[in-house]
Copies of this chain bind each other. A is one copy, B any other.
Amino acid sequence: MSGTAHVRAQPWQVGQWLNVREPLTLESLRGRVVVLHAFQMLCPGCVSHGIPQAKAIHAASPPDKLRVIGLHTVFEHHEAMTPLALEAFVHEYRLRFPIGIDQPAADSPIPLTMRAYGLEGTPSLILIDKAGCIRLQHFGQMDDLRVGAVIGQLLTEPA
């Protein structure tokens, strides 16, 4: 899916955070553009494309205007992609932005936030505007030029 409907983004359901001291809520980021990058550490397309893109956005953006948030949405190989393994991955790949571990569901391999957002797989990119509405949700690779253009648009809009 790749669309622009102004749907209000649901709260994240995160059990554990990396790279941040306090749990991060979407509400606390109101007024900023939020780039939510859903990934799995053993997903090849995430490692080759999505994560480098998220790192580049993080490096290029002023934190008072835009925040990159990783979301580890494990829906397969749960036994391999544990929080402990994710910590090693984050260390090796030098990820510095906050990463939330999506809360596992009791009744499904799909974790709670992934289900609430209707994500189809990883990597998925979700761009949320200053008012907390989803403006782009894309499964798979999306080139930097297009991602940059939407970010530039959202940054330009009034808060």
Contacts and interface: CB of A to CB of B under 8 A. Distances in A.
A149 interface: yes
B92 A88 contact: no
Contacts of A93: 44
Main secondary structure of the interface of A (DSSP, over half): helix
**How many copies of this chain are found per oligomer?**
4
Contacts of A154: 152
A121 B93 CA distance: 16
Interface string A78-90: 0111101101110
A148 interface: yes
Contacts of A108: none
A154 to B, nearest CB: 8
A44 B77 CA distance: 20
13 contacts: A42-B88, A43-B92, A56-B143, A76-B88, A77-B88, A79-B85, A79-B88, A80-B82, A144-B148, A148-B148, A150-B152, A151-B152, A153-B155
